[in-house]
Amino acid sequence: MARTLKDYPSVTLKAEDLDDKIDFDGIFGRSGAVHIEIGTGKAAFLLNEARARPDANFFGIERASRYYRYAVDRIGRWGLTNVRIMRTDAVHFLTEFVPDNSVDFFHIYFPDPWPKKRHHKRRFFCPANLGQLIRILKTDGRLKIATDHAEYFEQIRKLTADESDRLEEIEFVPTAGAEIGEWVGTNFERKYLKQNIKIYTLALRKI
């Protein structure tokens, strides 16, 4: 029998509650390094990283209702006070509501590769969206990316290389939830590793 998913208003932010640029200190009720994960899935990364870094603030964005509801339930049941999550379109949220130089880390793990060529325009990584990430990151802020899709990874590498005056590549350090042989410890990564699919990672620093 499937468990009933509960809503936890204390960990969610609704789109209708926003009418101006977001104040992360106000959202969390304290100051601290701000991490944003785009595409939280079932929140494996958020849960593990937030527990490992209680002094930091974690904000998750998930568009798919089924994953969002599951993530809210897990975050709420674990009683984490340094995590907030929002169901919204990431591009709209970043463009309209996130101030310049306000985020310390972006985490984007296994974004939809939209493998068919006619769907490539739907991919998150494009010059405009990368520009938004750079605008929002603080100086010395970090962007961490993981994907199982080789062609998409090459596209991402080319995009970021074109921004070499604002981004420099750094070592990708595994996340708190990663086990031996893993990079980020998410459900997607573990599924792909069981299938012997190669994982590609990239970490960048805003200069």
> Which residues are annotated as catalytic?
112
Q: Is 98 helix (H, G, I), strand (E, B) or coil?
A: coil
Are the beta carbons of 23 and 13 closer than 8 angstroms? no
Q: Is 167 helix (H, G, I), strand (E, B) or coil?
A: strand
**Tokens coding 116:** 């068919």
The residues near 180 (Cβ < 8 Å, ≥ 6 apart) are: none
d(CA 181, CA 174): 9
d(CA 135, CA 37): 16
Please name which of 189, 21, 10 lies closest in space to residue 94, comparing C-alpha atoms: 21
Please name which of 87, 82, 52, 96 lies closest in space to residue 67, comparing C-alpha atoms: 87
d(CA 113, CA 146): 11
d(CA 69, CA 123): 23
Helices (H) and strands (E) in the chain, counts: 7, 7
Give Cα 151 distance to the centre of its chain.
21
